[in-house]
Amino acid sequence: MRRTMAAAGPEEALPALAQQLGLAARAERPSEASSGPGCLETVRRLTGLFREARPREMAEESMFQSLLKILTKASCEMELACKDSMELITLDTCLLLIAECFRCLRNACVRCAKNQDVMRNLGLIEVSVHLIQLLHGLEVEQESLLAALRCSLQFLGNLAAGNGDSQNSIWKCAFPNLFLFLIVTDRLLKCPELVKAMYAKLSNQERITLLELIMAKISEKNSMSSEEMAVLVNNAEFLASLFQEKCHDVLKLTSAANTEDEEAIVTIRILDVLCEMTSNNEQLEHLQTFPGLLETAVDTLRLTHLAGKQTANIFTASHSMTGEGEISHPAVGFKSHLIRLIGNLCYKNKENQDKVYRLDGIPLILDNCSIDDNNPFVNQWAVYAIRNLTEQNERNQEVIAQMEQQGLADNSILKNMGLEIEKRDENLILKSVRKTPTS
């Protein structure tokens, strides 16, 4: 009994689908192809097949040549659409096919260097970048247009993943014009793999610009969709890994000669973004469990605090800010933000509270409670961090209480933080001070 294509295995289905795709690629116009005998359905079946590794490995170059032809003809049709008003029905049909072609290509190059190389050598990067620019020029509000843009970027992201040659080719084609467009419209941020690939190619000044745009995006009060949140979490983990890798660069700023060090400034901006990200509950949950991030924050605070005590530099506590002093220094507020990040990561998280205890981070935070012109609001962030470290954590409360009893923690500092020590039976309890209303 003969099996249908739908019931056939990948080895049997792939050649037949490739043949059908070749026929569709010969159509004069993509819109005609998509309304022809099952072209869109053929691409959809290939998209489904390429979700598995075996079909991806079996794919032949001719299949990608067919997809290239369809997309090349689509470019011509989009150019006409930009010049002349195109019927919305015809345009929508063409956009659906473009989106599905990019989905197919996106799936085909997942963890498959062979296909990545074939696509790059065929010129699919150039055609894709050109199409993205054309799609951006369409002045229509259609879901099919957004889908085509989204899938095209996902394709470039997967093509770049783990492939240096493809990253270089995308960079040459996309920078600066398309890259700047992608940043400004937030579309780049919605493709984490492309963010990683592009970030590696950026200059430090360009990285600072990108980080500031990310900061502006996550600071928006508008609610995000679950898809946008998932993408942002992926970017958050990427930035957390960058911070862990580059955090010690900030120590270069102890030298007055290095105040313009761009690598250090990039790291400071990454910390700013992480602080903002961990102020959002959904992103916080992921970063609280990110391996090594809390340890890195505590370790960096310890190193900068020690550096400030060894010699007079930007990490030394200052109480004599004058006019145009160090206020313009890029590291102003760095220790404040480290304490803020530690406090965020410990929010209602017993495991992280205990981790800071084991790292001996509580005395370190208390030692940074005094007013410091080089770290505005450090006292407030220290109060916040201590509250998060001691909330429903008796051991951490006891640590601070014992420090005060032994004279290691200044009781006036604790009072300024709204805390006091109370002895109950044989135990010392840290509790909030009830403030008397003032007239």
Taking only the tens place, the pLDDT of each residue in 306-341 is: 999 999 999 998 876 544 444 578 999 999 999 999
> By 3-state DSSP, what share of the chain in percent is helix, strand and coil, each rounded to 5?
70, 5, 25
Burial level of 174, CB count in 10 A (0-12/13-18/19+)? buried
**74-103 pLDDT, tens digit each:** 888 777 766 665 555 578 888 899 999 999
Q: How far apart are CA 346 and CA 340, in angstroms?
A: 10
Highest mean pLDDT (candidates 68-72, 77-81, 85-89, 405-409): 68-72
pTM of the predicted model as reported, rounded to 2 decimal places: 0.72
Report helix, strand or coil for 320.
coil
Answer yes or no: are the C-beta atoms of 232 and 224 closer than 8 Å: yes
Q: How far apart are CA 67 and CA 42, in angstroms?
A: 11
Q: Is 237 left (phi over 0), alpha (psi -120 to 50) or beta?
A: alpha
pLDDT at 344: 97
- Pull the structure tokens for residue 185: 């419209």
pLDDT at 325: 44
Instruction: Say whether pLDDT at 31 is over 60.
Output: no
Report helix, strand or coil for 433.
coil
Q: Exposure string (b/e) for 87-113, b if CB count within 10 Å is 16 or more? A: eeebbbbbbbbbbbbbbbbbbbbbebe
Across the range 348-373, mean pLDDT stands at 93
CA 117 to chain centre: 26
CA 198 to chain centre: 12
Q: How far apart are CA 341 and CA 352, in angstroms?
A: 12
Answer yes or no: are the C-beta atoms of 68 and 127 closer than 8 Å: yes
Give just the sign of the alpha carbon dihedral 257, 209, 328, 277: negative
CA 357 to chain centre: 29
